[in-house]
Amino acid sequence: MSYGFMITNERLQIAADKDSETQKVKLSDDFNLTGTAKYLMSSKFNGDDLSAYGEIYDKDGNDTDLKSTWTVPVAKDSTTGDFSLNIPKETLDVGTYKIKVHLTDSNDLVSNTITYNITVTKNELIITPDKTDITVNDNKPVDLTGSYKYSDNADFQDKNVTKTYEITNANGTTHKLTQTMAHDKKIDVDLKPIAYDQSPDQTLSDYLKNPKSDNVLAEGKNVVKITVQDGTYASAETTVNINVPKLSPTITKTTSNGINVLGPTGKVHFPIDFSYGSDYTLNPNELIGVFTVDQQDPVSLKINNPTTAQNSSFDMSFDLAGNQINLPSDKNSATVTLYFTDPYGRKTNTESFNLSILSYALELDFNNYRFQTIDPKTFEAGYIKRSGDWDLNVTSYKASWVLKAEADNLDYESTQQPSNLSMAYVNKDDLATALQSNPQIAKSDKMEAQTVDISDQWNSDNGILLKTNTLPKQGDYTGTIHWNLTESL
């Protein structure tokens, strides 16, 4: 008696289709497990059907005792065969499963085993953003809001939700923010400009190498993909577009004159206008100024201007102390160049200022002044108060000083004849001295740079006041105060 048998080194190999390997399906829908079969040594199929076997496990790997078999037809003489294994609706309850599949041929060759990851949901998770297209008109964080729920308002399957925000900038750079929390049915996240949290002690280029995780928005179109996951049971995604205008902010110095500075630590006044050239709002504390004095290393400072939101060109002039920008202590002049950057990393043009660094200064700034109108109905003999802010300022550096004021009686304007109206200086102790006596009204022994507002130190009942003993005749009166500012020893 003789026996026949076949020895072969051929092997049957199967692979799952990529889009079938992991699926999320609804309880009420059929679904298919698809893939491809072939022999590793490229043998041809003989035309006999293949048999497929499936075993189903839960998310923890426990056998559910659910098994399926399918017949897979393959054309004769073909080298590959596609298969699609149908699983009818409601075969699996809501949950997550692993389905392990292998095939055999008519010669009892057994394939490798492949695993399909299947999540069955009862209904559909839906994300509804409040806005799908957002256009930015300022440098504030963008509050991305919306809601999520199941289509039939069913309860969530997991106690926690994972929300993922993937932001793709116009240049292709991507950022990802992930939140895991108890379900709140809300989409609510602040997305900040790319340089929003830059501190002055970092250059813009250095900060942009590793910005804070929520500094994600850049100029141009930002595509935000929002994904919400109810544990492993269901997920949904949608997109929101955030459009940030591309702008070229400009600064313009408003004087061609040089700037005097009282020593290397004195106040430096920068007269500058700022504009975005568009209807775009700049809020307080959003600009970083980059200052370069001569050939020194740049100094970056946060600039407080504007003090209120501005949406058009505005005067953003500001003052800094000389030591804030490292003015030299061994020179009497310097050139300062500066530009600004905003939270989106936009950069202005550069302006230059020529500074004269003074070694000594003593000067007085004054204006034309008025006293309050005398009302005959309420007149009382005594002193008449000043009207408005007199703005009487002494600026000094390395100089102690004394300020005196001298004046005769006021003239009646229409005739230029002297009147009985006179001026007096009343000190804080209410002691009055007529200005005819040239009284001292202020002094200082400080050597450091300073600007003293003399009139700001007066209240309404002291300082220079108008003296009248009787009701003057109707009309206007004028006079001249001779200010005498001298250096004291």
**pLDDT per position in the chain (489 positions), as tens?**
555 555 568 899 999 999 999 998 888 899 999 999 999 999 999 999 999 999 999 988 999 999 999 999 999 999 999 999 999 999 999 889 999 999 999 999 999 999 999 988 877 899 999 999 999 999 999 999 999 999 888 889 899 999 999 999 999 999 999 999 999 999 999 999 999 999 999 999 999 999 999 999 999 999 999 999 998 878 899 999 999 999 999 999 999 888 999 989 888 999 999 999 999 999 999 999 999 999 899 999 999 888 899 988 999 999 999 999 999 999 999 999 999 999 999 999 999 999 999 988 899 999 899 999 999 999 999 999 999 989 899 999 999 999 999 999 999 999 999 999 999 999 999 999 999 999 999 999 999 888 899 999 999 999 999 999 899 999 999 999 999 999 987
User: Side-chain half-sphere of 34: how many Cα atoms within 13 Å?
Assistant: 8
Q: Where are the beta strands (DSSP E) in 296-449?
A: 299-303, 314-315, 318-321, 333-341, 351-358, 361-365, 370-371, 382-384, 386-387, 393-397, 401-406, 411-412, 417-418, 422-426, 432-434, 440-444
User: Residue holding tokens 């250095």?
Assistant: 206
Query: What pLDDT score was predicted for residue 232?
Result: 80
Q: Sheet with 393-397: list strands edge to edge.
A: 361-365, 393-397, 450-453
For 19, the enclosing helix (H) or strand (E) is: helix 18-21
Distance CA 301, CA 204 (A): 12
Distance CA 333, CA 261 (A): 9
Distance CA 385, CA 370 (A): 9
Q: pTM score > 0.75 for this model?
A: no
Distance CA 462, CA 432 (A): 9
For 204, the enclosing helix (H) or strand (E) is: helix 204-209
Query: What pLDDT score was predicted for residue 6?
Result: 56
The residues with which 258 forms a beta bridge, in sequence order, are: none
Contacts of 393 (CB under 8 A, 6+ apart): 364, 365, 366, 451, 452, 453, 454
Q: Please answer whether residues 139 and 283 qualify as being in contact, where contact means their C-beta atoms are separated by less than 8 angstroms.
A: yes
User: Side-chain half-sphere of 245: how many Cα atoms within 13 Å?
Assistant: 14
Q: DSSP letters along 279-300, please?
A: S-BB-TT-EEEEEEETTSPPEE
Q: Please answer whether residues 53 and 67 qualify as being in contact, where contact means their C-beta atoms are separated by less than 8 angstroms.
A: yes
Burial 364-399 (b: 16+ CB within 10 A, else e): eebeebebeeeeeeeeeeebbebeeebebbbbbbbb
What tens digit of pLDDT does each residue of 316-343 get? 999 999 999 999 999 999 999 999 999 9
Q: Cβ atoms within 10 A of the Cβ of 361, count?
A: 18
Integer CA distances (angstroms), 324 to 83, 288, 449, in order: 75, 14, 15
Distance CA 63, CA 67 (A): 10
What tens digit of pLDDT does each residue of 366-421 get? 989 999 999 999 999 999 999 998 989 999 999 999 999 999 999 999 999 999 99
Helix/strand/coil for 21:
helix
Write out the two tokens for 270.
């920068």
Q: Sheet with 287-293: list strands edge to edge.
A: 259-262, 351-358, 333-341, 287-293, 299-303
DSSP letter for 372, please. Answer: P
Pairing of strands 351-358, 259-262: parallel
Cis peptide before 306 (omega within 30 of 0): yes
Measuring CA to CA, which residue among 140, 334, 342 is closest to residue 242?
A: 140
Helix/strand/coil for 50:
strand
Instruction: Report the sign of the C-alpha dihedral through residues 407, 411, 416, 418, in that order.
Output: negative
Distance CA 467, CA 35 (A): 106
The residues with which 142 forms a beta bridge, in sequence order, are: 191
Q: Please answer whether residues 338 and 270 qualify as being in contact, where contact means their C-beta atoms are separated by less than 8 angstroms.
A: yes
